[in-house]
Amino acid sequence: MRTVYALFVGIDDYPGLPLRGCVNDVRAAENWLRSRSGPAARIRTLYDAEATRAAVLAGLEEHLGKSGPQDTALLWFSGHGSQSPTTDPGEATGWSQALVCHDSLMPGGQPVLRDTELGALLDGVAARGTHVVAVLDCCHSGGATRQDAAGPPGAAVRGVPWRSWWHPAAGPGARSGGGGQVPEPGRHVLLAACRPQELAHENVVDGKIRGYFSHALLGALDRLGPTAAYGELHALTEARVRALSHVQHPELRGPEDGAFLSGEPVPGSPFLLRHTAWGWEVNCGAAHGLRSTGAEFTLLGDAAARTVVVRDVRPESALVDPVGWQPTSEDQQWAHAVTPSALAFPPAVVTLSGEKAAVRLVAQAVGELPALALAPETGGGDGLPLRSPIGAGDALRLHVEVGDGRARVSGGGGHPVPELSLRSPADAARVADCLAHIAHWHRIRDLVNPDPLLSSLVRITVEETAVGSLRHSADGEIVCGYTADGREPQVRVGIHNHAGRHLWAVLLDLTDSYGSSPHLFEGEFIGDGRVGWARRGEPVWLRLPPGRSAVRGAFTRDWLKVIVAEDELNLAPFRLSAWSTGAPSGARDSVAPAGGGGLLRVLAAGAGGERDAGGPAYGAGRWGTAQVVVRTER
């Protein structure tokens, strides 16, 4: 049975630099945990003078360390944070952050708890199978570009300057995991009060001095319950904090679809609708492939099928207006799962050939997925569900040959898809799912901002290490080879920022098995002139997939794609499991609700009114991409 091991640390009584809302925060969080039903909770609290460095470390190692597989370990810290410049290649901003313990502020006192040390301890617990959550309500850094930003009137900040006796640790903490097709081991989930370069604030909220972040997060938990997905919790929390402080941006690092306190997957949509200080907003923007105003989203699980229409496309999100309905104050308190129901992008064009009856079966299944369109040469006169392939000149073209109870898919550009069974309507739907999956993968791989400004200021480098070989082919691919004794090649992958300002970046690994994952660099700010290293500078291991690894001359391709923006992006649309005949594809759910095939419509140019394809230009220079192709071979 799952047990929740919780460590609550709240420090107001700092020598010389007191705060007033931190103990209130963690007591409220403790009360919330005690009042909820569900798994048993084992709680340790450290308030004010109790929260020495030694006591916090003991709480992490001895208390949270008691947790095991299927348990949850929760750290909730409210207090001061600090930062110092660093040359550590694992710190992409150029600053190292730390939690300030009670005995760290006295001259000659104890060192702070640095981020690398804390991260290594939490990940060590997670590596045993425990779901680990860290809630940090403090200034993660106090001196970068946002240091002098004014907070709300009367608000106090939870950060202090670096002290001379806080000597840096010897190096970054242990980081585990691999690149390419190697899965990542357990990592902790972080819910942070602000970006690394920002300050966190506390003020009077609802009659008590509270941290804006802790108050907003607990309010979201009260409304949504402990099984809410992290993405939904973050969306509501961030909207509330931004309404209180325009200079504080909470962060989520971890999977959006995991349930709070368990990490178990929560079914839903990668897109959320919420009410903000700027109006209604969907976390889908130009950097996700949203092309124009007029695009439409429909609320999932809504009997009335209420819709919203995009009026302003931003790089990271879209401002929308409800159509035909008036939101209530209750609606404004929730984050609503939505799905695209009218988008201005060309569907993938599918050509079918082979036995007529089998062609008709697949055509019917293709017609149910608006992300796909039958090619004109397939024919519509025999009753096939032909849909005009809008913008077909630029669209992906796929081919399916059918016959003898099998379907053979080609044209995807990745590794050949194994033949698929085709003997029933369910098999045909599976073929269509495969095509939609490949189309989704291509939309991610081919994503680019037509305005090249920011893209030209960011680049990806792949550097050779002592393990394996590296060369550049005539067609621009980076070719990495196994060692003579069969060891996988290792490389270092860097994201270089020459934009003149901090940029948020994610590095996607798109495999030739039609998968996409951000695990190498899962969303982080990179300072101007700095390099963000995949896996914080640890080697990226390139490995051939099972089935190809034992064959001499076998190879695989990875498209390493960086997407940069001035603000964080919703990562859920970029996560796509590799195609497998035995596993469900996320591609259908990414563009239509489960069981709701046919909801999505494709907007045609010249459709009239406010829903014409096209619209205003992308946010020029506010997002960009760079991409390299890595070929790993025996």
User: DSSP string covering 48-78, please?
Assistant: GGG--HHHHHHIIIIIGGG--TT-EEEEEEE
Determine the Cα–Cα distance for residues 277 and 430; give it in Å rounded to an integer. 43
Collapsed DSSP state (helix, strand, coil) of residue 565: strand
Residue 393: the pLDDT is 47
Residue 548: the pLDDT is 87
- pLDDT of 195 higher than 70: yes
Determine the Cα–Cα distance for residues 536 and 523; give it in Å rounded to an integer. 12
- pLDDT of 594 higher than 90: no
β-pairing, 279-282 with 208-211? unpaired
Residue 157: the pLDDT is 64
- Greatest mean pLDDT range, 66-80, 95-109, 264-278: 66-80
Q: Say what the alpha-carbon torsion angle 28, 34, 35, 41 is, to the nearest 10 degrees.
A: 140
Q: Which long-range contacts (CB under 8 A, 24 or more apart) does 301-310 make?
A: 301/337, 301/593, 302/336, 307/341, 308/273, 308/280, 308/282, 308/338, 309/610, 309/611, 310/282
- pLDDT of 615 higher than 70: no
Determine the Cα–Cα distance for residues 594 and 270; give it in Å rounded to an integer. 13
**At a CB cut-off of 8 Å and minimum separation 6, what does 193 contact?**
136, 137, 138, 139, 140, 158, 200, 211, 212, 213, 214, 241, 248, 250
**At a CB cut-off of 8 Å and minimum separation 6, what does 576 contact?**
437, 440, 441, 444, 514, 515, 516, 517, 586, 587, 590
Distances (CA, A) of 173 to 91, 110, 627: 12, 19, 29
Burial of 593 (0-12, 13-18, 19+ CB in 10 A): buried
- Report which of residues 100 and 618 the model is more confident about: 100
Determine the Cα–Cα distance for residues 59 and 375; give it in Å rounded to an integer. 63
CATH topology of domain 3-149+156-171+186-201: Rossmann fold (3.40.50)
CATH number for the domain whose boundaries are 455-589+617-633:
2.60.40
Residue 433: the pLDDT is 95
- pLDDT of 596 higher than 50: no
Report the range of poorest mean pLDDT among 225-239, 316-330, 388-402, 597-611: 597-611
Instruction: State the residue for tokens 């104050």.
Output: 329
Judge whether 332 and 275 are in contact, CB under 8 Å.
Answer: yes
Mean pLDDT for the stretch of residues 554-581: 94
Determine the Cα–Cα distance for residues 223 and 334; give it in Å rounded to an integer. 8
- pLDDT of 404 higher than 90: yes
Residue 152: the pLDDT is 63
Per-residue pLDDT reduced to its tens digit, 300-327: 988 888 999 999 999 999 999 999 999 9
Structure tokens at 20: 């007033």
Could you give phi then psi for residue 576, rounded to 5 degrees?
-145, 120
- The one-letter code for the residue type at 240 is R
Give the domain ranges of the chain. Answer: 3-149+156-171+186-201, 348-445, 455-589+617-633
Mean pLDDT for the stretch of residues 385-412: 76
Judge whether 53 and 101 are in contact, CB under 8 Å.
Answer: yes
Q: In what order do the strands lie in the sheet with 208-211?
A: 156-157, 201-205, 208-211
Per-residue pLDDT reduced to its tens digit, 466-477: 999 999 999 999
Per-residue pLDDT reduced to its tens digit, 89-130: 778 888 888 999 999 988 888 889 998 899 999 999 999 999
Percentage of the chain beyond pLDDT 70 is 83
Determine the Cα–Cα distance for residues 205 and 21; give it in Å rounded to an integer. 10
Judge whether 137 and 194 are in contact, CB under 8 Å.
Answer: no
Mutual angle of helices 356-366 and 425-445, in 10-degree steps: 60
- Report which of residues 600 and 634 the model is more confident about: 634
Per-residue pLDDT reduced to its tens digit, 135-162: 999 986 432 222 233 456 666 665 666 6
Distances (CA, A) of 389 to 1, 553, 587: 53, 39, 19
Residue 536: the pLDDT is 87
- Which residue, 125, 140, 126, is CA-closest to 59? 125
